[in-house]
Structure 1
Amino acid sequence: MNTEHSQEAAIIARTRIGIIGGGQLGLMISEAARKLGFASVVVLDPTPACPASVVAKQIVGSLKDPVALKQLADRADILTYEIEHINTQALQDLQAEGVKIYPSPELLAIIQNKFEQKEFLARHGIAVAPYRSVSSRNDIEQAAREWGYPLVLKAKKDAYDGRGNARVNGPEDIESARTKLGDRELYVEKCIDLDKELGIMIARNERGESASFPVVEMIHERDICLTVLAPAQIPDEVQAEARKMASESIDRLEGIGIFGVEMFLDKQGKLWLNEIAPRPHNSGHYTIEACQTSQFEQHLRAITNLSLTPTTMLYPAAVMENILGERNGPADVQWSRDYDHEHVFPHIYGKRETKIDRKMGHITVVGEDLDRVYKQAKEARATLSI
């Protein structure tokens, strides 16, 4: 073992990781931490026996409770999180007391408010779809006069998996869109003439070193990421531009950790940054089996300021298929037939209750040809019910 490796091993062996949130991302971060050999992993989650609790110790408590967050901080050397909707003020207070939190609470505060996120990116010259804050029907109509329909009305905060979005195809949709989003601060965005939705995972450590994974294509249904195709079938110059856009954005944010950067590629070949997730992301799940380093290991390396390791794909093609709940009730995993264990890798998150569109697991399939792998992923998903 060389000197750098032995120094890294020593850092890992004495570092305790605390994770705010114990869902599937907390589970997979915990699994990676255990595999690397971190001293301990503790998660904070309100659900007893949360998914991450099978590999990590759990504190049962609210993600917004300052007392519970302090309990977690007392049992960890570094805090990170798997979800954005947490108490940033409590995190800033802990940080002021000397607790290490990555990505930083200041960055999280920018990301939490999607309008502020757009403002930040636009201010730093990153291409984002035209947008504006709105507070009345008249404001939305004014945006439509300038940009035309369709538009997307969005909540500034607490929006994920499409739950904070409402499409406005014409003036007749305005009131129903406003009703759907309720009494929240809103902004409106011009719809891009979309060719593909792209994603890229990028990690950055405290030294400012960064490493990005291949650009992938995301296929959404009902505003939820259903399928990820890796690598995205796009020209090399678009791949390079996407990496550059992601790198510039995370450098500007001074991000530490891993970030999921979602982009739109329009039919004219132009890239627009949609939004940034300050954590591991659906679009990076394929990296567990398909890349030299997984997004979860890279996140842990970044927040502990270790060197970032190669992100090269181990196979020419990979597809990730989300397993979304199809009913409400107790979870019951059933396979109608066996699958190809050499190329198909199911991940079941261990949630006890299934709900319609709830993320219950994912399947990654690897192989030589993207079309064939995509077909195999769909076939594997069809044999599973939860």
Structure 2
Amino acid sequence: MNTAQHTQETEIIARTRIGIIGGGQLGLMISEAARKLGFASVVVLDPTPQCPASTVAEQIVGNLKDPIALRQLADRADILTYEIEHINTQALQNLQDEGVKIYPAPELLGIIQNKFEQKEFLARHGIPVAPYCAISSPADIEQAIQRWGYPLVLKARKDAYDGRGNARINGPEDIEDALAKLGDRELYIEKCLDLDKELGIMIARNQRGESSTFPVVEMIHERDICLTVLAPASISAALQAEAQKMASESIDKLEGIGIFGVEMFLDKQGKIWLNEIAPRPHNSGHYTIEACQTSQFEQHLRAVVNLSLTPTTMLYPAAVMENILGERNGPAEVHWSRDYDHEHVFPHIYGKRETKIDRKMGHITVVGDDLDKVYTEAKEARATLSI
């Protein structure tokens, strides 16, 4: 970037007000990046008083689906973005129709919110996705079993995240329980692939259609929640390139603006399948704050404001992110059993006042020269923290 372009972008940033729908940990880290860049102001909408993002941004206390609260946020911002998909798409569409700038666009959010529609969109555009079909009755499940065999996973089309909204069917004895768990929701069913790894990639795209990908990472899940991220993923250069190409094609087809977390499956035959897309910063990109030249949060802001996208090269050969998940229910109390290496270990505590089992309370990123060694150090660092 030359000096004139840098000066022009600095001036744009200084006069632009950012509004964020949602003030949880992602809203917090977007706000921190916005403050660091020098945006004119940052306002978040969140129903919880003194939400995590309120420590660095102004907060409007209100429901994320309330059209009045959303309009109040829009009145105080030049550009709206969001940290969560489960919001009022129609209210956002109405605001956009009136001229409010919202990125990613409400139309795109409508596709992403419904995971079945998301699969349909990707399949229509030639993106490989696991075999799936709509479900409206138990007979449809039987047809899927006859077609693909076991295991299968029954999925809710909407309001599903971190495994909530999924029910695995390993045999006929699981069908009744799966329907009991999800049967009152709109459903679809998906064939379970024989997985080698679960991969993730962050990709940003601005209004000019310029895009920028981060390194492909490996995600390790427990109880369907992303627990660990290994960067970069231990895969071949050819697979890295294939994953980046698949992510780029998907976001181009969606005409996405902002940052997107693209989750993928690598099966044991070496084929990559796209699992799902998050139209926002994502767990799999938290490591970028310390480990990359540009964080996912800064790149998101640069994309939605239509600035140039800056380099995403890793600053270290290896990085590991460990999610800090709640282990009990009650008031949050942060305690370290011993000190940590402040040059290579970077804890982020989100400031949530109540801890709950499996609630995301923070994360730790560890950087270094060797991925296996860094992974061990990350596990050790996590073990010294209770919250």
Asked if these proteins are the same fold (TM beyond 0.5), I'd say yes
Give per-residue Cα distances to partners, 1:211-269, cap 9 Å, x unaligned: 00000000000000000000000011000000000000000000000000000000000
Question: In structure 2, what residue type is equivalent to 1:115?
Answer: F
Tell me the SS of whatever aligns to 1:47. coil
* 1:334 equivalent in alignment to 2:331: no
Which ranges of structure 2 fall in alignment gaps of 5 or more residues? Answer: none
2: CA distance, partners of 1:197 / 1:82: 23
2: CA distance, partners of 1:238 / 1:144: 31
Question: In structure 2, what residue type is equivalent to 1:259?
Answer: F
Give per-residue Cα distances to partners, 1:297-335, cap 9 Å, x unaligned: 000000000000000000000000000000000000000
Residues 141 and 171 of structure 1 are in contact (CA less than 8 Å); yes or no, is this contact kept in structure 2?
A: no
1: CA distance, partners of 2:205 / 2:148: 36
Which is worse superposed, 15-24 or 130-139?
Answer: 130-139
Question: In structure 2, what residue type is equivalent to 1:139?
Answer: D
* 1:37 equivalent in alignment to 2:38: yes
1: CA distance, partners of 2:277 / 2:229: 17
2: CA distance, partners of 1:338 / 1:180: 43
* TM alignment of 1:1-386, pairs within 5 A: 2-386=3-387
2: CA distance, partners of 1:103 / 1:270: 29
Identity level (%)? 87
Give per-residue Cα distances to partners, 1:102-122, cap 9 Å, x unaligned: 000000000000000000000
Which ranges of structure 1 fall in alignment gaps of 5 or more residues? Answer: none
2: CA distance, partners of 1:6 / 1:383: 45
Residues 15 and 77 of structure 1 are in contact (CA less than 8 Å); yes or no, is this contact kept in structure 2?
A: yes
1: CA distance, partners of 2:317 / 2:361: 27
Tell me the SS of whatever aligns to 1:248. helix
Tell me by how many angstroms 1:137 deviates: 1.2
Question: In structure 2, what residue type is equivalent to 1:41?
Answer: V
Question: In structure 2, what residue type is equivalent to 1:2?
Answer: T
Question: In structure 1, what residue type is equivalent to 2:8?
Answer: Q
2: CA distance, partners of 1:168 / 1:384: 36
1: CA distance, partners of 2:303 / 2:74: 19
Tell me by how many angstroms 1:182 deviates: 3.7
Question: In structure 1, what residue type is equivalent to 2:165?
Answer: G
Question: In structure 1, what residue type is equivalent to 2:233?
Answer: A
Give per-residue Cα distances to partners, 1:270-317, cap 9 Å, x unaligned: 000000000000000000000000000000000000000000000000
Which is worse superposed, 91-100 or 176-185?
Answer: 176-185
Give per-residue Cα distances to partners, 1:57-78, cap 9 Å, x unaligned: 0000000000000000000000
2: CA distance, partners of 1:75 / 1:304: 16
Give per-residue Cα distances to partners, 1:123-156, cap 9 Å, x unaligned: 0000000000001111111101100100000000
Count of residue pairs brought into register by the alignment: 386
Give per-residue Cα distances to partners, 1:173-226, cap 9 Å, x unaligned: 011011111400000000011000000000000000000000000000000000
2: CA distance, partners of 1:82 / 1:326: 24
1: CA distance, partners of 2:160 / 2:183: 12
Tell me by how many angstroms 1:25 deviates: 0.0
2: CA distance, partners of 1:137 / 1:382: 44
Tell me the SS of whatever aligns to 2:277. strand
Question: In structure 1, what residue type is equivalent to 2:259?
Answer: I
Which is worse superposed, 176-185 or 257-266?
Answer: 176-185
Question: In structure 1, what residue type is equivalent to 2:232?
Answer: P
Question: In structure 1, what residue type is equivalent to 2:307?
Answer: L
Tell me the SS of whatever aligns to 1:158. coil
